[in-house]
């Protein structure tokens, strides 16, 4: 039996851009942080880092603008500033994804979240959306040695879920995330909101509306 033929047992979700639309708020916070150092960065430049872990992004920005803080300090500051958005309910919720998480769990699938965001922000989303009981494992990028596009976070999540990679499908929005899931040997659905990003990026399926995703695949 090939990996593609193995029965699906687990669904793993990215969080930012799949469960909540946090990208505008992240970009706002990042632009404000850079502005504090009398520098400016364009929205187009920030979009280049979509799906890349925070420390790597800030290492590049720090070098470009010669910022005094370390990349790790800047990343922690960003997570702190973002927490109010996660906790306040200001972030737009992608409701079909929330419904899919509940449905997947109720159908007996193992469900996981694998996100570059910090553990506190993941926990805040689980609380706000009241889906903690429907998620069997939630892994932050801070818990693995290498970040997306490396496979570490997805392999670790599968381990916690008690499944092998070939039994998983991942739902991702970024190219880095798709690459990470493919490197882990998992099936991948790429969610491109509103059909704005047509590149499938190595995913098995491309959807523009999360309501298009139903289980079993």
Active site residue ranges:
14, 16
Residue 35 DSSP symbol:
H
The C-alpha atoms of residue 179 and residue 37 are separated, in whole angstroms, by 34
**Contact between 143 and 152 (Cβ < 8 Å):** no
**Contact between 116 and 147 (Cβ < 8 Å):** yes
**Contact between 172 and 190 (Cβ < 8 Å):** yes
Residue 206 host element (H or E): strand 205-207
**Number of H-type helices and E-type strands within the chain:** 8, 8
Q: Residue 74 has which token pair? A: 């800047």
The C-alpha atoms of residue 44 and residue 191 are separated, in whole angstroms, by 20
- Residue keyed to tokens 């969610």: 191
Angle formed at CA 15 by CA 2 and CA 70, multiple of 5 degrees: 115
Q: Helix 175-183 crosses helix 152-161 at what angle (to 10 degrees)?
A: 60
């Amino acid at each position: 039996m090939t990996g593609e033929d193995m029965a699906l047992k687990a669904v793993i979700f990215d969080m930012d851009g799949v469960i909540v639309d946090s990208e505008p708020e992240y970009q706002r916070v990042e632009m404000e942080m850079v502005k504090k150092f009398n520098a400016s960065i364009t929205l187009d430049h920030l979009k280049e880092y979509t799906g890349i872990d925070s420390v790597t992004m800030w290492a590049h920005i720090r070098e470009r603008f010669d910022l005094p803080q370390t990349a790790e300090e800047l990343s922690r500051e960003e997570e702190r500033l973002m927490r109010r958005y996660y906790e306040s309910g200001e972030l737009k919720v992608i409701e079909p994804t929330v419904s899919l998480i509940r449905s997947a769990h109720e159908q007996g699938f193992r469900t996981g979240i694998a996100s570059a965001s910090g553990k506190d922000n993941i926990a805040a989303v689980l609380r706000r959306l009241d889906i903690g009981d429907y998620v069997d494992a939630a892994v932050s990028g801070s818990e693995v040695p290498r970040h997306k596009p490396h496979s570490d976070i997805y392999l670790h999540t599968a381990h916690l879920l008690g499944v092998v990679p070939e039994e998983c499908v991942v739902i991702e929005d970024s190219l880095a995330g798709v690459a990470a899931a493919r490197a882990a040997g998992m099936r991948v659905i790429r969610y491109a909101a509103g059909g704005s990003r047509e590149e499938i990026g190595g995913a098995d399926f491309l959807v523009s509306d999360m309501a298009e995703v139903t289980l079993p695949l």
